[in-house]
A and B are shown apart, each in its own frame.
Chain A
């Protein structure tokens, strides 16, 4: 594992048993998240980004899920653990303490019958040795930090008494309570309106700067990526197709899929123009996929693309899984 990475996902495969058969949701993903970095994981619905993220915490139902590959995590004390090989009972010591996660819809992610103060304190009680008054004080600190005021009064309220945006702030407070190294945000702003979305992103950016933790931001929204991510990985059909710094991703995207995605972002000020879409649909993950998964929809696809899975190649922190990396540069409208 790289010495400045805190999470290293190596050749991760996740197979999920569903009523319709086995779904190969993640088909060989490599991902490195560095210390202090905000890493975006972008892709359309069903491409496997959430499954990859949840695997870092092994949140899947172990009776229905089959993992292969490695996920290495560098703990706060410097030691390295292989998450997929940890015995079940050691997982709670990682969850919340080393890696924390917040989810898409905060209104259903909080227990409706417990006060929010309780839910934050519970986290502290589980992972720290602090005394009750200390826990209480820290909880109020956290609420203040995320902008829930007056903290004392609101800590005694129940989730249904908060709006979506405030509930997400509470989730963030909860997630940060034990100083994790990595915060995974799974579509954290998708369920919020645009203004609130901006506020939450601003909050996350601010907190990240102050605390210096890493973030894995899962989203299908390139705007979010552009707003706060340092680096980003684009996923398609269970594989990462491109990884680079956000600047380069927008300036010089190499993978045809990335380019097509960026192309299809609607632009304001150009009314009357047709929306650009990518023809076709992602392949079904119930069947094995031969060759490049994007080939059926790619205008540059060759026979090689259809037969052989392209490896990740590239230099200088910009990698791409395409036989024709860089093809069709002229098509990109500058963002």
Chain B
């Protein structure tokens, strides 16, 4: 098992570096001149311009710039923001709790609710409950996450009058801020995972080993959870890992609508102000996190399915 994890980890490293090259390349291809951005668009002296060039390494060849950037990333230094003239790393760290919390909570809610709903629908296939839930799921999945967010804010303000947005100062406020956005973010994940769970469970419930289990006189509940679900969960994990990617992106939108001080809003800010270190840094970070999650998912596969371990 350990060898399997190592093998997978080694496969991710080249991808990570290739991704970083792609990110760097795309940013460098921009027609916008970073020097202008740094100097705030003001007319500047030659001295000022060359100072900037030296400070941000623009005088060096592109490959070297890339290597310097990557070296920084691997040691935790994401560079200096063009606009704010301060370390990007510190900015990122300050905003990490919100984004991490958002993704974690919504994933948790999403997975638990979805799996439960999916199994329910599969077992009670084609009954009223199943059909109603299926319709609800289709609508949820078709609703863009920022729309759900907007509607939830609307609903919240009508119901309780108080809407929790903006920064927080303690743990309680932190949770308050995250509760409703996590819910909004989890909706599309619930819908997709529930559907896949349902389809997968229906397929497994028809399989031969389930027939054997029935012939053995095993109780229905055990067949559903211990036999069928273990097998059914494999494609669910696949969809789930893709969905987490969608969630990472969705959190950007949710943060925007709920005005939360997370990585997403920092990223949007960076895009709007052409603040490339921020854009590069956050994008790379998010991709890195996504790759790690995929690795964890692969490990999960191997833990569940012995056939994979022996590959």
Contact = CB atoms under 8 A, between A and B. Distances in A.
Nearest to A101: B215
Contact of B212 (A110, A113, A158, A160): A110
Contacts of A100: 215-216
Interface size class of A (residues with CB under 8 A): 20 to 34
Contacts of B304: 113
Contacts of A291: none
Interface string B212-239: 1111111100100001001100000000
B217 A126 contact: yes
A126 B222 CA distance: 10
A33 interface: no
A113 B230 contact: yes
A121 B143 CA distance: 48
Interface residues of B, number: 20
Contact of B218 (A109, A126, A171): A126
Contact of B231 (A59, A103, A112, A122): A112
B229 to A, nearest CB: 10
With most chain A CB atoms within 10 A of its CB, the pick from B211, B216, B231 is B216
B217 A95 contact: yes
A109 B208 CA distance: 5
Interface string B196-209: 00000000000111
A171 B227 CA distance: 16
A108 B217 contact: no
A113 B216 contact: no
B14 interface: no
Nearest to A159: B209
A91 to B, nearest CB: 8
B214 A95 contact: yes
A67 B214 CA distance: 19
Nearest to B218: A126
B307 A112 contact: yes
A96 B217 contact: yes
Contacts of B207: 108
A171 B305 CA distance: 21
A142 to B, nearest CB: 14
Interface SS of B by simple majority: helix
Contacts of B208: 103, 105, 108-109
Interface in A92-112: 92-97, 100-101, 103, 105, 108-112
A127 interface: yes
Contacts of A111: 209, 212-213, 227, 230-231
Interface in B290-304: 304
A171 B209 CA distance: 11
A75 to B, nearest CB: 13
Contacts of A123: 216-218
Nearest to B209: A111
Nearest to B305: A113
Nearest to B227: A111
A63 to B, nearest CB: 9
Given A158-B307, A160-B307, A109 B217 contact: no
B217 A93 contact: yes
Contacts of A127: 217
B41 interface: no
Given A112-B231, A113-B304, A95 B216 contact: yes
Contacts of B213: 111
Nearest to B212: A109
Nearest to A104: B208
Interface string A79-97: 0000000000001111111
- Going nearest first, the 4 A-B pairs with the smallest beta carbon separation are A96-B217, A95-B217, A92-B217, A108-B208
Given A101-B215, A103-B211, A113-B304, 19 more contacts: A59-B211, A59-B214, A92-B218, A93-B217, A94-B217, A95-B215, A96-B216, A96-B218, A103-B208, A103-B212, A109-B211, A111-B230, A113-B305, A114-B227, A123-B216, A126-B218, A160-B307, A171-B212, A174-B216
Interface of B: 207-209, 211-219, 222, 227, 230-231, 304-307
